[in-house]
């Protein structure tokens, strides 16, 4: 008998406690005086023998109970190295069908794995029951089938974009077989590093598994890992710069790799790249947004046999019109009205007493125009806009209700207002690196004349990581700040725009700041990565019906759910192919790009495990694997039953054996 957790056996030392209690019985006897004790002495002698026997039996029962529990927790089992295949009633076979298994030797690794699984099955008798697992993990993977059905399931296994951690696979095999000692388990995979990243956490599960490793003969692979646009602003007829990460997974230097960029299915750029072995590099391609609306793009290289990381899809939106909302105390400030007096902006103004809360989510930028108070009900709607990627700008009134402002600021986690300071101050510090000044300055100008203000609100500033100063006064007090606590940006000007207080609206900086603040709103991911439990943010999606479609091959209705008060679409395992999909919701069409997980691009195996056997295409390989595998007969249940019997026996003794 062997123990999986022998360290638990040290608790057997605790058995000395009931023994000591038995030896040093501290029962106190009460003296009773009789005139004639001859009869009592005889009774006492007989009772004493029975009492000692009873105590000894109870001690033995308790020792057996404690010992059985300790042995059960130590997980005892019996090893049997000599076993016949006919002793197994069932077998479970996992076939790795992740994208890395598409690598080819003479045939693909997946086909090789399927052939090995068939060889294993054919070595067993016809009465064997077989369970087949893959990364898709469908309902049929929960069951055991006969030979004929199992071979059909194996034949139907195709490449999957999903990968599962090796520990999870072993746990699933154990759960399906219910830890039955008469089930032999096989795992056939290339055992890549990322597949077994948690292997050390479940190393004790490996010992009774047959692990068969397939090797890649081709060690070269170039992958397009990721891409992103350099700036968050999407403008029509303006230049974009796309940053692309490329990785060489092989050891040899690669030269003249052709990288091509397609925008709206038209070739818009290319690069010839040289990259050293085992290296990542970043390259950029510039292009101009010549279209409005949904923009679709892809980057393509054609360099190796592993095609699943040679194309990277992306998509974004260049808005035709931008919706602006101003919420004013009385009349709309004329300077704000002039900024957005352009056909590309749709400007709407609400008086603070007549706010249509249901429409607030429709606006890309909301401007608080000199409000004296901010309603508590408005705060929650504004927070939702920030969370969904919309932008907010606040220009305070000179006579505000500080408590109402601070309640709102606390809700969105920004600095609170301390007090109003009547003091003329000039701005002398500008953050040229802030994205709001993109395309505003060609170079830093030290002689620029900055605006001034005759008064401003002093803030109780904390060390907030998401705060960025845009403009500051001479005394280092902030004039214009951005807070990036959510997906959208919150801008706060500490001074009103009244011309008798500040000349900011007359300065050349006012127009580009307001203009770029509206353009930066709603920046979203260029693409999503395919996974088994994928949820994507979609605040504008319908709560009833959302249709995801790709050409005429794929069409699926998606449901949505709230996670931390944010609306998500449940993709799950529905998307299995990369590409650009159409999302129809609320009578609108959006483009969503999906790409395969680049973890599958790694082809080098750094795992060393004594239980893994390298596959050799010979008839005796499976025999070698089986001979070195120790089969177990678990004894845990037997010791638990023994403990229960001991407990019941002790209970019966105490109940029915009276002294």
Q: Are 506 and 544 in a shared domain?
A: no
Q: CB-hemisphere CA count at 13 Å for 594?
A: 22
Q: What is the pLDDT of residues 476-522, one digit of tens each?
A: 899 999 998 888 899 999 999 999 999 999 998 999 899 888 876 55
Phi, psi dihedral angles at 42 (to 5 degrees): -65, -45
> Does some domain include residue 228?
no
> Does some domain include residue 303?
no
Q: Are 498 and 535 in a shared domain?
A: no
Phi, psi dihedral angles at 258 (to 5 degrees): -90, 120
With beta carbons less than 8 A apart as the criterion, state whether 432 and 444 touch: yes
Q: Report angle CA 560, 384, 481 to the nearest 5 degrees.
A: 140
Q: Are 339 and 468 in a shared domain?
A: yes
What would the two tokens of residue 168 be? 């999870």
Q: Report angle CA 654, 655, 657 to the nearest 5 degrees.
A: 70
Closest CA to 633 of 127, 88, 176, 124: 88
**In the prediction, which pLDDT does 194 show?**
46
With beta carbons less than 8 A apart as the criterion, state whether 86 and 126 touch: no
Structural domain range at position 50: 2-80+637-656
> Does some domain include residue 75?
yes
Q: Are 533 and 392 in a shared domain?
A: no
CATH label of the domain that carries residue 436: 3.40.50.880
Helices 109-122 & 147-156 angle (0-180, nearest 10): 180
Q: Are 364 and 410 in a shared domain?
A: yes
DSSP annotation of 217 reads S
Distances (CA, A) of 595 to 161, 207, 227, 550, 575: 10, 36, 11, 14, 10
End-to-end CA, the chain: 40
Q: Are 555 and 570 in a shared domain?
A: yes
Q: Are 592 and 443 in a shared domain?
A: no
> Does some domain include residue 604?
no
Mean predicted lDDT score pLDDT of the chain? 83
> Does some domain include residue 305?
no
Q: What is the pLDDT of residues 568-598, one digit of tens each?
A: 888 888 899 999 999 988 767 889 999 999 9
> Does some domain include residue 298?
no
Phi, psi dihedral angles at 277 (to 5 degrees): -65, 145
Question: Over pLDDT 90: what percentage of the chain?
Answer: 34
With beta carbons less than 8 A apart as the criterion, state whether 308 and 160 touch: no
Q: Are 45 and 20 in a shared domain?
A: yes
Name which residue leads in pLDDT, 69 or 43.
Answer: 69
> Does some domain include residue 485?
yes
With beta carbons less than 8 A apart as the criterion, state whether 99 and 136 touch: no
Q: Are 357 and 466 in a shared domain?
A: yes
Q: What is the pLDDT of residues 602-620, one digit of tens each?
A: 766 555 554 566 555 545 5
Given a cut of 70, is residue 282 above it in pLDDT? yes
- For the chain, the domain total comes to 4
Q: Are 495 and 408 in a shared domain?
A: yes
Tell me what the mean pLDDT of segment 432-446 comes to.
77
Q: Are 47 and 8 in a shared domain?
A: yes
Phi, psi dihedral angles at 568 (to 5 degrees): -125, 150
Tell me what the mean pLDDT of segment 624-645 comes to.
71
Q: Are 38 and 91 in a shared domain?
A: no
Collapse the DSSP code of 585 into the 3-class scheme (helix H, G, I; strand E, B; otherwise coil) and give the result. Answer: strand
Q: Which of 166-170, 238-242, 639-643 has the lowest mean pLDDT?
A: 166-170
């Amino acid at each position: 008998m062997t123990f999986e957790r022998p360290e638990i056996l040290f608790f057997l030392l605790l058995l000395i406690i009931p023994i000591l209690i038995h030896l040093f019985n501290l029962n106190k006897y009460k003296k009773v005086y009789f005139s004639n004790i001859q009869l009592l002495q005889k009774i006492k002698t007989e009772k004493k023998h029975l009492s000692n026997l009873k105590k000894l039996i109870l001690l033995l029962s308790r020792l057996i109970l404690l010992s059985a529990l300790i042995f059960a927790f130590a997980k005892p089992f019996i090893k049997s190295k000599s076993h016949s295949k006919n002793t197994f009633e069932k077998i479970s076979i996992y076939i790795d069908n992740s994208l890395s298994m598409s690598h080819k030797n003479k045939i693909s690794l997946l086909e090789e794995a399927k052939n090995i699984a068939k060889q294993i099955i054919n070595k067993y008798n016809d009465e064997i029951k077989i369970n087949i697992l893959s990364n898709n993990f469908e309902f049929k993977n929960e069951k055991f089938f006969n030979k004929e059905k199992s071979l059909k399931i194996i034949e139907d296994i195709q490449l999957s974009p999903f990968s599962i951690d090796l520990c999870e696979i072993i746990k699933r095999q154990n759960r399906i077989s219910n830890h039955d000692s008469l089930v032999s388990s096989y795992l056939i995979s290339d055992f890549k590093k990322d597949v077994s990243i948690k292997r050390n956490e479940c190393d004790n599960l490996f010992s009774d598994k047959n692990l068969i490793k397939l090797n890649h003969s081709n060690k070269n692979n170039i992958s397009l890992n990721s891409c992103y646009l350099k700036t968050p602003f999407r403008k029509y007829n303006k230049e974009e710069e796309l940053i692309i990460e490329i990785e060489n997974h092989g050891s040899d230097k690669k030269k003249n790799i052709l990288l091509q960029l397609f925008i709206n299915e038209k070739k818009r750029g290319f690069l010839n790249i040289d990259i050293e072995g085992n290296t990542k590099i970043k390259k950029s391609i510039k292009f101009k947004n010549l279209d409005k609306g949904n923009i679709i793009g892809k980057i393509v290289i054609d360099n190796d046999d592993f095609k699943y990381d040679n194309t990277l899809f992306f998509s974004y939106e260049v808005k035709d019109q931008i919706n602006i909302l101003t919420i004013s105390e009385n009349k709309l400030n004329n300077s704000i009205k002039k900024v957005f007096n352009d056909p590309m902006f749709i400007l709407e103004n609400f008086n603070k007493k007549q706010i249509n809360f249901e429409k607030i989510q429709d606006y890309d930028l909301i401007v608080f125009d000199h409000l004296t108070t901010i309603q508590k009900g408005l705060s929650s709607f504004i927070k939702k806009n920030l969370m969904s990627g919309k932008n907010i700008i606040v220009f305070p009134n000179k006579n505000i209700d500080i408590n109402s402002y601070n309640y709102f600021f606390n809700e969105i986690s920004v600095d609170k207002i301390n007090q109003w300071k009547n003091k003329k101050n000039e701005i002398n510090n500008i953050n040229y690196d802030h994205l709001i000044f993109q395309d505003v300055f060609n170079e830093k100008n030290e002689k620029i004349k900055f605006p001034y203000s005759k008064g401003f609100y002093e803030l109780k500033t904390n060390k907030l990581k998401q705060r960025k100063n845009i403009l500051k006064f001479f005394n280092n007090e902030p004039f214009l700040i951005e807070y990036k606590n959510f997906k959208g940006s919150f801008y706060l000007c500490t001074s009103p725009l009244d011309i008798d207080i500040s000349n900011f609206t007359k300065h050349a900086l006012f127009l580009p700041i307001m203009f770029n603040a509206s353009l930066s709103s709603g920046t979203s991911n260029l693409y999503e990565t395919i996974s088994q439990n994928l949820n994507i943010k979609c605040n504008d999606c319908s709560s009833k019906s959302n249709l995801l479609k790709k050409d005429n091959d794929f069409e699926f209705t998606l449901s949505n759910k709230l996670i931390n008060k944010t609306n998500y679409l449940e993709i799950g395992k529905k998307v299995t192919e990369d590409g650009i999909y159409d999302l129809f919701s609320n009578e609108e069409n959006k483009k969503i790009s999906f790409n395969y997980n680049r973890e599958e691009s790694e082809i080098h195996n750094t795992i060393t495990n004594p239980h893994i056997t390298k596959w050799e295409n010979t008839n005796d390989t499976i025999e070698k694997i089986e001979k070195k595998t120790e089969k177990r007969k678990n004894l845990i249940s037997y010791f638990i039953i023994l403990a229960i019997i001991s407990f019941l026996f002790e209970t019966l003794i105490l109940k029915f054996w009276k002294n």
